[in-house]
């Protein structure tokens, strides 16, 4: 049997101090708190409210009384015996790194159910599986196990915090009805590298998780998923992404479903707690790709909506909302193995060329097929074919937002082919498709520089600095003020306007995030000023 008194006698008072864990737990506490298994009272360093700590170790409690704040109360008690506890006076009950040390928690849970007030918050922290090994741990937990064990008590929330892979932090609001209306849906094949991160970033917002695992998967995708949900199902791939998504929604019990790939994660999700008041059937989400470009797609929608098309599937929805604050990051490099990425790319290549190539032969007015064929060939630097399908798209499409994006890509291609006049012409046409976008002004400035029209280039580059909010499905580049000012400085330098160049480079240095670039632009600014002074003298 583990000797707690001996452990605390031989350990420093801060043996269990963990800044990030305690800080997160403290942020979740409401009102008067009972800290069960408090040890030496580390939590009092982070929570300054009404606090009572309980622990079985006399030595631990003595150290807590000696070293922690004097307004905190510390009591020796065996927390596994229900007859010692009446929790009615507390608003929050903390059991942090406690449950893994006891073989049976039935008595204390019964005491909480019997004596604690309605809406009392229970905060639980336990190691995530066996990732924090210790000789005094007698059992392990997973998110899936905790859901099964505590769902009957009230509203459960699991938190996405910095140490979530090592330790689970959850709250239970006693006798409060479950509030979350979203299920996370993932269709996965060999996503063992990234799927845990995908799940962890959504835990706080989702009620349930459904994972469809391709039956040809060879890595630990299924094992990892089962740590977080009991709803892991095998499926057989039939060369149809829409069919896979439609299969998954059959298992969704909540009103809403959020789709992520196993190599994606949720970076921003403001307002999801109010999703039940949403009047639209689907919401557009921003998806940031590895290139830093952003596309928008309805990844969050009512479970009863259906997908169509085998590849680059489309959600069938007439009531689509655009205003939200949801950002998904697509990250194959950190979230998927090289082998899995190569296999997925090969699969997508075959599907895009085979399926959409057939569609465009049957109907050249199929703008969806021509767009995705163009994007496919553009990504693989087959530029002549990309141009061909971009032009075919423009011939038949009337969707201005997408036409703007196609012209943006054509401008980039022509610039790479040293056809600056054609590149600039596309930027002129971009303005007619979607006016007043900073990207248009910036790209036109760059194409004018290629033509050595530096005065005009400065005009358009400077205009691109203005903050122009433009709702759009495609955001191909991230606004970078250092990049814009750097190009303005280059344009002024080419005109031998050294004073103006110096000022532009100085502004670029102010916006640089990396010290190396900051130093580079400062040096350029000083050099331009020196040239200007020599010129005047």
Say what the pLDDT of residue 95 is: 98
- Give the tokens for residue 203: 């835990």
What is the dihedral angle through the alpha carbons of 89, 94, 100, 103, rounded to the nearest 10 degrees? 10
Report the mean per-residue pLDDT for the chain.
94
pLDDT of 94 above 80 = yes
Per the structure block, which two tokens stand in for 258? 């959020």
Query: What confidence category does residue 469 fall into, taking pLDDT thresholds of 50, 70 and 90?
Result: low
Q: How many CB atoms lie within 10 A of CB 323?
A: 9
Segments of 97-143 assigned E as strands: 121-127
Looking at residue 126, its pLDDT comes to 98
Q: Which residue, 335, 288, 324, is CA-closest to 182?
A: 324
The rounded distance, in Å, linking the Cα atoms of 166 and 130 is 9
Span 493-509, pLDDT tens digits: 999 999 999 999 999 99
Within 8 A by CB and 6+ apart from 233, the residues are 210, 211, 212, 213, 251
Each as own residue / partner, the long-range contacts of residues 110-113 (CB below 8 Å, 24 or more positions apart, any chain) are 110/82, 111/82, 111/85, 111/86, 111/87, 112/87, 112/153, 112/174, 113/153, 113/174
The span from the CA of 487 to the CA of 462, in Å, is 10
- Sign of the Cα pseudo-torsion (233, 238, 243, 245, in order): positive
Would the pLDDT of 471 be above 70? Answer: no
CA distances for 484 relative to 224, 255, 411, 415, 419, angstroms:
44, 44, 18, 18, 22
Query: Tell me, what's the pLDDT at 3?
Result: 87
Domains 4-174 and 182-330 share a fold: no
| CB 214, CB 247: distance < 8 Å | no
Q: Give me the mean pLDDT over the 275-304 stretch.
A: 92
Question: Where in the chain are the domains?
Answer: 4-174, 182-330
pLDDT confidence of residue 391: 98
How many Å separate Cα 250 from the centre of its chain?
Answer: 25
The structure tokens 């032009």 sit at 391
Query: Has residue 526 got a pLDDT over 70?
Result: yes
Distance of CA 109 to the CA centre of its chain: 34
In angstroms, how far is CA 171 from the centroid of its own chain? 22
CA 372/CA 375 separation, integer angstroms: 5
- Which conformational region is residue 216 in: left (phi greater than 0), alpha (psi within -120 to 50 degrees), or beta? alpha
List the structure tokens of 70: 């004097």
| Rounded Cα gap, residues 330 and 67, in angstroms | 47
- Predicted TM-score of the model (pTM): 0.86
Q: What are the backbone angles phi and psi of residue 299, rounded to the nearest 5°?
A: -85, -15
Burial pattern 220-235, b for ≥16 Cβ within 10 A else e, equals: ebbebbbbbbebbeeb
The C-alpha atoms of residue 428 and residue 227 are separated, in whole angstroms, by 54
Question: Please, is 253 exposed, middle or buried when counting C-beta atoms within 10 Å of its C-beta (0-12, 13-18, 19+)?
Answer: exposed
* Rg of the chain over all Cα atoms, to the nearest angstrom: 29
- List, for residues 420-458, the tens digit of each pLDDT value: 999 999 999 999 999 999 999 999 999 999 999 999 999
Assigned CATH class of 4-174: alpha beta
d(CA 31, CA 483): 49
Q: Classify domain 182-330 by CATH number.
A: 3.90.550.10
């Amino acid at each position: 049997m583990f000797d707690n008194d001996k452990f605390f006698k031989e350990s420093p008072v801060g043996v269990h101090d963990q800044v990030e864990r305690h800080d997160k737990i403290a942020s979740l506490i409401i009102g008067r708190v009972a800290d069960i298994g408090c040890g030496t009272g580390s939590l009092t360093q982070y929570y300054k409210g009404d606090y009572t700590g309980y622990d079985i170790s006399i030595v631990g409690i003595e150290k807590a009384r000696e070293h922690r704040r004097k307004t905190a109360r510390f009591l020796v008690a065996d927390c596994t015996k229900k007859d010692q506890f009446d929790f009615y006076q507390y608003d929050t009950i903390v059991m942090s790194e406690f449950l893994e040390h006891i073989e049976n928690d039935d008595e204390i849970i019964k005491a909480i159910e019997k004596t604690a007030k309605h809406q009392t918050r229970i905060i639980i922290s336990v190691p995530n599986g066996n990732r924090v090994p210790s000789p005094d741990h007698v059992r392990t937990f997973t998110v899936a196990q905790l859901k099964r064990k505590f769902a009957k008590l009230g509203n459960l929330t699991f938190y996405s915090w910095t140490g979530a892979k090592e330790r689970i932090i959850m709250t239970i609001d006693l006798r409060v009805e479950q509030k979350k209306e979203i299920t996370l849906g993932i269709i996965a094949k060999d996503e063992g590298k990234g799927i845990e991160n995908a799940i962890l970033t959504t835990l706080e917002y989702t009620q349930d998780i459904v994972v469809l695992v391709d039956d040809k998967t060879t890595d630990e995708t299924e094992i990892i998923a089962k740590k977080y949900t009991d709803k892991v199902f095998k499926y057989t791939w039939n060369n149809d992404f829409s069919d896979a998504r439609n299969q998954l929604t059959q298992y969704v019990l909540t009103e809403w479903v959020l789709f992520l790939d196993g190599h994606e994660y949720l970076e921003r999700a403001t307002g999801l707690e109010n999703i039940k008041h949403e009047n639209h059937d689907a919401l557009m989400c921003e998806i940031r790709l590895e290139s830093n470009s952003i596309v928008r797609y309805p990844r969050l929608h009512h479970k009863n909506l259906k997908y169509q098309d085998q590849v680059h599937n489309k959600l069938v929805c007439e009531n689509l909302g655009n205003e939200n604050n949801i950002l998904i990051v697509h990250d194959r490099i950190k979230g998927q193995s090289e082998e899995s990425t190569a296999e997925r790319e090969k699969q997508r290549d075959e599907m895009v060329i085979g399926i959409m190539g057939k569609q465009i032969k049957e109907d050249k007015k199929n703008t969806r097929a021509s767009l995705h064929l163009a994007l496919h060939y553009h990504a693989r630097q087959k530029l002549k074919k990309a141009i061909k399908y971009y032009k075919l798209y423009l011939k038949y499409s009337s969707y201005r937002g997408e036409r703007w994006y196609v012209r943006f890509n054509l401008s980039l291609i022509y610039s790479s082919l040293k056809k600056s006049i054609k590149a600039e012409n596309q930027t002129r046409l971009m303005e007619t498709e979607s006016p007043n976008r900073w990207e248009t002004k910036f790209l036109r400035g760059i194409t004018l520089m290629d033509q050595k029209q530096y005065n005009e280039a400065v005009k358009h580059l400077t205009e691109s600095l203005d903050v122009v909010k433009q709702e759009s499905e495609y955001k191909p580049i991230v606004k970078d003020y250092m990049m814009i000012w750097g190009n303005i400085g280059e344009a002024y330098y080419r005109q031998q306007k050294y004073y103006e160049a110096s000022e532009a480079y100085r502004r670029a240095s102010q916006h640089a995030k990396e010290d190396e670039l900051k130093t580079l632009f400062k040096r350029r600014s000083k050099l331009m000023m020196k040239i200007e002074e020599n010129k005047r003298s």
